[in-house]
Chain A
Amino acid sequence: MSDTSKYNTVDAPEGYAGEGFFATKLDSVVGLARANSLWPLPFATSCCGIEFMATMAAHYDVARFGSERMSFSPRQADMLLVMGTIAKKMAPILRQVYEQMSEPKWVIAVGACASSGGVFDTYSVLQGIDKVIPVDVYVPGCPPRPEQILDGIMRLQEIVKSESVRRRGSDEYKDLLGSYNIK
């Protein structure tokens, strides 16, 4: 690709390049592939969902970061974006959606409500989705602007890139899920 191209490609991971070959870690290659094709599952219950719609659309265009296709089936999604107030009655449904996602899976809590219950300090609202499922990235804001949601996704990409391919089978990961009584 020439220097004047309007397309960008991601940088190659750290490795050893020689004449006609390139050697690097499997972790880095898998991480690079995963991080740049995260299929989002939008779980939108309120105003943060509206901001995400702007994030998806042409102006902010989350497709630039490899999240072209919204997956409304949890079984084909990698990244669960929880956007909005989760009532306690909704919590088991959110949990079921998370359980239906296949590994590897990541979660972003978008906005104050999903992160901590926000202003809804009340008997009917779940005080942060991390009470029922593990969360990787928290995006602050009420609601956050599309730039903040994109920043959250880019931070998740960094996490995904550096994740070991063995993590999902490790005892630590089983303990993490176990602490949420998942599986």
Chain B
Amino acid sequence: MALETSVIQNKLIENFGLKVSDFFQQHDIFTFEVASDSIVEVMKFLRDDATLRFNFLTDLCGIHYPDYEKERQFAVVYHMHNWMDNVRIRIKCYLDGDKPEIDTVSGLFLSSNWQERETYDFYGIIFKGHPQLKRILNMDEMTSFPLRKEFPLEDSGRTDKDDRFFGRTSQNC
């Protein structure tokens, strides 16, 4: 492979020090954590550096960890892809459970515009500086962030549902 993971790791530590951490190989993808306040500069470096060349943002999504400590209850996960060397990386940013906020990367990758809106739609994560942070898939009137664990999956408006016929009894629900 043209671009070794050790090169990525050393370059990042050299430039950002303690802001990048927890490097490890997870399911064939090199993964690390970035402090949530420096995601934009790290991503810009990954994109523009002459050796790293992570020119493509494959995906961006949210995760809710309700059982973690307060300052790590939400995460935003970025997947980046270097097309020239065909190397992928995964970046995780942990956010505060009470105030999940992170800077937008839509200035670096225009494709993140809708992906950040989707993440806001389902998790309520605020992307600071986003040009149009509003719901994208769910209806605008919705008041919940449905993929957060505190919101029920089922619709409360259903009137014909008898829990017994759905295998839900007091023991298992």
- Give chain B residues whose Cβ lies under 8 Å from the Cβ of A89: 137-139
Q: Is the CB of B160 within 8 A of A124?
A: no
Find chain A residues with CB under 8 A from B166 CB.
Answer: 121
Number of interface residues of B (CB under 8 A): 17
Q: Which of A88, A117, A122 contacts B153 (CB 8 A)?
A: A122
Query: Does residue A64 face the partner (Cβ distance < 8 Å to B)?
Result: no
Expressed in whole angstroms, the minimum distance between the Cβ of A180 and any Cβ of chain B is: 14
Q: Which residue of A116, A121, A128 is within 8 Å of B154 (Cβ)?
A: A121
CA distance A30 to B144 in the complex (A): 49
Majority SS at the chain A contact face: loop
The reply on A127 being an interface residue by CB < 8 A is yes
- Say yes or no for B164: interface residue by CB 8 A criterion: no
How many A-B contacts at CB < 8 Å in the complex? 36
B155 within 8 Å of A by Cβ? yes
Range, interface on chain A: 10 to 19
- Closest Cβ of chain B to A112, distance in Å, is 11
How far is A117 from B155 in the complex, measured between Cα atoms in Å? 10
Complex A-B, nearest 5 residue pairs according to Cβ-Cβ distance, in ascending order: A127-B158, A89-B139, A123-B146, A121-B154, A88-B139
Q: A117-B155, A121-B158 are in contact. List 16 more A-B contacts (CB 8 A).
A: A88-B142, A89-B138, A116-B160, A117-B158, A121-B154, A121-B155, A121-B166, A122-B153, A123-B154, A124-B146, A125-B155, A127-B157, A127-B158, A127-B159, A128-B160, A131-B157
Which residues of B does A touch, CB under 8 Å?
137-139, 142, 144, 146, 151-155, 157-161, 166
